[in-house]
Chains A and B, each alone.
Chain A
């Protein structure tokens, strides 16, 4: 068997980085404005007869009124449960008949609409989507049914260690602020939601001025502009969202939520770094080396590969609008929780003090630049990426520039950003389970 020996593998990787096909070879982004004045990003990709439309409205569950937590999620869940002339079943049957697929979801800082449509039925399919966005019926029976599903999920979350850890971490980190509240709400708040609440919130969260749009597929600029206008026709321009970021710092500490499961779930984190910060890219590379790089990361090597403490451990930069975070998670047997947390804290401190090695940085750059084109191998993925870039305030040129920005990161950059971001003493740690020795 002719197999490239290790040395030449590594050498090949080193020398070939610049020769890698770039994402830009496959993706040409146009920044456009529709006839009605809506800006959107387009990638024309004619090889398969489908169109992926992705929209993010920068409003989100943070705008739930006090006492109505869960309202935004309920609105999004009801958009395709009857709209215009059609009740829930008729709407769903029509989507099937047109071979269209719609998805609606809600996060803290945005709500998302995803559509996949066939070129041959795109006009009626987009008209159907427009009905869902502009004329949801909020029929009483649909409301009660979807409310029932939401309450069932909330009840199940009460005994799901992962869900418990999320709720506890955010409620402790952002006490008194909207970010402390669960996006799914509570049994009480969801139980209190009325049809009037839904109607009012629908108008607040789906507005033309908050929409960021990516469209990818077998469609040209003119048709895409017409499509966008058709889909958004019934929405109001809306007001800029007044939203005050949290003012207090995340209190450090360790909380144990006693819960009878064999394996504890541990959520840990502290303040992170904003996307617009000039040290964001170095922090992104640092995170790959510490906890983001799958089997290559330090946390995975120390916690799983060397010690067998857990199936998975990872860390990530979380982009809340008003509160950048650096979070991580591990699940480990109750008897070994203390050891896992100690190892993680040690790695946190080691990188804060010493930064990374030259070899680690080189490997991170090779992976991050080489794997970039993997994000562009489907229309749906590209459409999400276009919206992600807009959410981060990036220009269309970012796709061409991005690998150069990664390549430019130095050891000193990582040392600086690690010392700034990684604060072992600032970690807020929530453990759900029956951990021993904490």
Chain B
């Protein structure tokens, strides 16, 4: 993210959005239209005529997990450099032109995708489309720009990660979870590699991946599909396809051994245990798998009625807070997280044992029908509330399509979720919540308990 939206790389925002998608978003009230340009660029149009404004997004199906070995952070660095200028847009003027037209713009990078967006009055859509299409192929950079912006991303790493022991700990956990897949590497990059990122590295990544057939256009707001199609054909249509989708990434070998970490930091005041499991993401052939995991995580660790909150934090429970999270929007096998923070005077091993007991009970007994009904009902509500924000809907569709959903599979998702049974949820817990697929970490004070 270029500025201000300091969500962590693990993306609390994206996880929350997926709570919404777990609900599904197909609905009669929000017409969604999809088509593909001749050069392979996918287009999604989400109509919302309440206000005369539009959200325009271009998503590239490439992210930090596609970086050349040793160049960690280059996908995100390029995202910053994309604002620097082209032959037609003077140096540093991109965002200023958007602002000059009463618009806002920003961008974000994940492991699987890189997105650029503008929010602007609907009659200015052609202007931002022209600018976005221009910088898909015509970026102009120089050494001075690159050197200054590299300092900016190093400060961004300081802000996001190095100043916060919890972020450093999460980074260590992911690196230990993935044995071979580049999901092990932080989006922002490892500092020593970030310091060496060059103009050539950025341009090589740009030229390899930034092309219409690797991109998805999402337009949400006060527009019609025909109007968007005409503008998209005018601005993006003339750009040549690359014919080269991103390569498959190195995949994980079998996970045979549970991993354990302990990290101590003088800045820690609230110790906690966090565990990541490697689990499947959404797969078009087997959507029920990800749907069952989504509901499982909801029942275990979302909100006051969850098993973790009641089992670990109520009464004499050992934890002050507990949660679980999972996002099915990933191209490859992804992570499911569980977390609990200890009450004063209680140990992390006690807390971990309590988490394990809840997981074991879920594997043995499955959820109750009441629990299953509750999370399904929550999912249905999320579906309706999601319609209130055109930019959230645009992000949902963009992220889903970037990792392998189609518009149809996004719209079918709510039905898939509603069809999940208690036994599906129990079986998902048994299949995926296995210690050998996981890494467990304790974040502690320097003089905290020994592991």
Using CB atoms and an 8 Å cutoff, list the residues of chain A in contact with chain B: 1-6, 9-10, 12-13, 16, 19-21, 23, 25-27, 45, 47-50, 52, 81, 88-89, 92-93, 96-97, 99-101, 116, 118, 141, 145, 148-149, 151-152, 155-156, 158-161, 260-263, 265, 293-296, 301, 304-312, 314, 331-333, 363, 366-367, 369-374, 376-380
B219 within 8 A of A: no
B91-106 contacts to A (CB < 8 Å): 92-93, 95-97, 99-104
- Pair B155/A310 contact, Cβ less than 8 Å: yes
Q: How far is the CA of A350 from the CA of B391 in the complex (A)?
A: 38
Using CB atoms and an 8 Å cutoff, list the residues of chain B in contact with chain A: 2-4, 29, 48-53, 83, 88-90, 92-93, 95-97, 99-104, 119-124, 126-127, 130-131, 133-134, 147-156, 158-159, 162-164, 221, 234-235, 238-239, 266-270, 303-305, 310, 313-315, 320-321, 341, 343-344, 374, 377-378, 380-381, 384-385, 387-391
- Pair B155/A48 contact, Cβ less than 8 Å: no
- Pair B103/A370 contact, Cβ less than 8 Å: yes
- Pair A10/B163 contact, Cβ less than 8 Å: no
- Pair A145/B314 contact, Cβ less than 8 Å: yes
- Which residues on A sit within 8 Å (CB–CB) of B50? 26, 45, 47, 377-378
- Which residues on A sit within 8 Å (CB–CB) of B4? 294, 312, 314
Apart from A261-B267, A295-B83, A363-B96, what are 17 other A-B pairs with CB-CB below 8 Å?
A: A3-B88, A3-B131, A4-B126, A9-B97, A20-B123, A26-B51, A47-B49, A50-B384, A52-B388, A96-B303, A149-B320, A262-B162, A311-B158, A331-B155, A332-B155, A377-B48, A377-B390
Identity of the chain A residue whose Cβ is nearest the Cβ of B134 in the assembled complex: A3
| CB<8 Å pairs between A and B, sample of 14 | A3-B133, A25-B52, A45-B50, A47-B49, A48-B29, A49-B29, A99-B380, A145-B313, A312-B4, A331-B158, A331-B163, A363-B96, A374-B104, A376-B53
- Which residues on B sit within 8 Å (CB–CB) of A293? 99
Q: How far is the CA of A310 from the CA of B4 in the complex (A)?
A: 12
Q: Closest approach, in angstroms, between the C-beta of B30 and any C-beta of chain A? A: 8
Q: Closest approach, in angstroms, between the C-beta of A106 and any C-beta of chain B? A: 19
Q: How far is the CA of A392 from the CA of B159 in the complex (A)?
A: 33
User: Which of B152, B269, B384, B387 touches A99 (beta carbons < 8 Å)?
Assistant: B384
- Pair B162/A21 contact, Cβ less than 8 Å: no
- Pair A1/B133 contact, Cβ less than 8 Å: yes
- Which residues on B sit within 8 Å (CB–CB) of A92? 303-305
- Pair B343/A148 contact, Cβ less than 8 Å: yes
- Give the interface centre of A101, A141, A308 by most chain B CB atoms within 10 Å: A308
Q: Closest approach, in angstroms, between the C-beta of B234 and any C-beta of chain A? A: 6
- Which residues on A sit within 8 Å (CB–CB) of B158? 262-263, 311, 331, 333
- Pair A161/B163 contact, Cβ less than 8 Å: yes
Identity of the chain B residue whose Cβ is nearest the Cβ of A380 in the assembled complex: B388
Known interface pairs A294-B104, A305-B92; A333-B134 also in contact (CB < 8 Å): no
- Pair B162/A294 contact, Cβ less than 8 Å: no
- Pair B151/A308 contact, Cβ less than 8 Å: yes
Q: How far is the CA of A295 from the CA of B2 in the complex (A)?
A: 10
- Which residues on A sit within 8 Å (CB–CB) of B149? 308
Q: Closest approach, in angstroms, between the C-beta of A99 and any C-beta of chain B? A: 3
- Pair B121/A101 contact, Cβ less than 8 Å: no
Q: How far is the CA of A254 from the CA of B337 in the complex (A)?
A: 42
- Which residues on A sit within 8 Å (CB–CB) of B95? 294-296
- Pair B305/A89 contact, Cβ less than 8 Å: yes
User: Which of B130, B267, B385 touches A101 (beta carbons < 8 Å)?
Assistant: B385
- Pair A370/B270 contact, Cβ less than 8 Å: no
Q: How far is the CA of A12 from the CA of B234 in the complex (A)?
A: 19
- Pair B162/A261 contact, Cβ less than 8 Å: yes
Q: How far is the CA of A205 from the CA of B83 in the complex (A)?
A: 47
Identity of the chain A residue whose Cβ is nearest the Cβ of B342 in the assembled complex: A152
Q: How far is the CA of A45 from the CA of B239 in the complex (A)?
A: 40
- Which residues on A sit within 8 Å (CB–CB) of B127? 4, 9, 12
Known interface pairs A263-B158, A296-B95; A47-B314 also in contact (CB < 8 Å): no
- Pair A374/B119 contact, Cβ less than 8 Å: yes
- Pair A152/B321 contact, Cβ less than 8 Å: yes
- Pair B390/A378 contact, Cβ less than 8 Å: yes
User: Which of A116, A160, A294, A373 touches B3 (beta carbons < 8 Å)?
Assistant: A294
- Which residues on A sit within 8 Å (CB–CB) of B390? 377-378
Known interface pairs A1-B239, A370-B101; A156-B148 also in contact (CB < 8 Å): no
Q: How far is the CA of A27 from the CA of B196 in the complex (A)?
A: 51
Identity of the chain B residue whose Cβ is nearest the Cβ of A12 in the assembled complex: B127
- Pair A367/B150 contact, Cβ less than 8 Å: no
- Which residues on B sit within 8 Å (CB–CB) of A23? 51
- Pair A6/B88 contact, Cβ less than 8 Å: yes
- Pair B270/A379 contact, Cβ less than 8 Å: no
Q: Closest approach, in angstroms, between the C-beta of A370 and any C-beta of chain B? A: 1
List the 9 shortest-distance A-B pairs measured between CB atoms, nearest first: A370-B102, A308-B151, A99-B381, A21-B52, A263-B158, A155-B269, A295-B95, A308-B148, A92-B304
Identity of the chain B residue whose Cβ is nearest the Cβ of A47 in the assembled complex: B50
- Which residues on B sit within 8 Å (CB–CB) of A13? 100-102
Known interface pairs A21-B123, A378-B390; A263-B374 also in contact (CB < 8 Å): no
Q: How far is the CA of A118 from the CA of B343 in the complex (A)?
A: 37
Q: Closest approach, in angstroms, between the C-beta of A352 and any C-beta of chain B? A: 24
Q: Closest approach, in angstroms, between the C-beta of B164 and any C-beta of chain A? A: 8
Q: How far is the CA of A288 from the CA of B163 in the complex (A)?
A: 29
- Which residues on B sit within 8 Å (CB–CB) of A152? 270, 320-321, 341
Q: How far is the CA of A322 from the CA of B221 in the complex (A)?
A: 40
Q: How far is the CA of A145 from the CA of B159 in the complex (A)?
A: 31
User: Which of A1, A265, A308 touches B152 (beta carbons < 8 Å)?
Assistant: A308
- Pair A89/B310 contact, Cβ less than 8 Å: yes
Q: Closest approach, in angstroms, between the C-beta of A261 and any C-beta of chain B? A: 5
Q: How far is the CA of A265 from the CA of B303 in the complex (A)?
A: 33
- Pair A4/B102 contact, Cβ less than 8 Å: no
- Pair A118/B381 contact, Cβ less than 8 Å: yes
Identity of the chain A residue whose Cβ is nearest the Cβ of B154 in the assembled complex: A333
- Which residues on B sit within 8 Å (CB–CB) of A294? 3-4, 95, 99, 104
- Pair B238/A367 contact, Cβ less than 8 Å: no
User: Which of B159, B341, B391 touches A312 (beta carbons < 8 Å)?
Assistant: B159
Q: How far is the CA of A161 from the CA of B104 in the complex (A)?
A: 29
- Which residues on A sit within 8 Å (CB–CB) of B388? 48, 50, 52, 116, 378-380
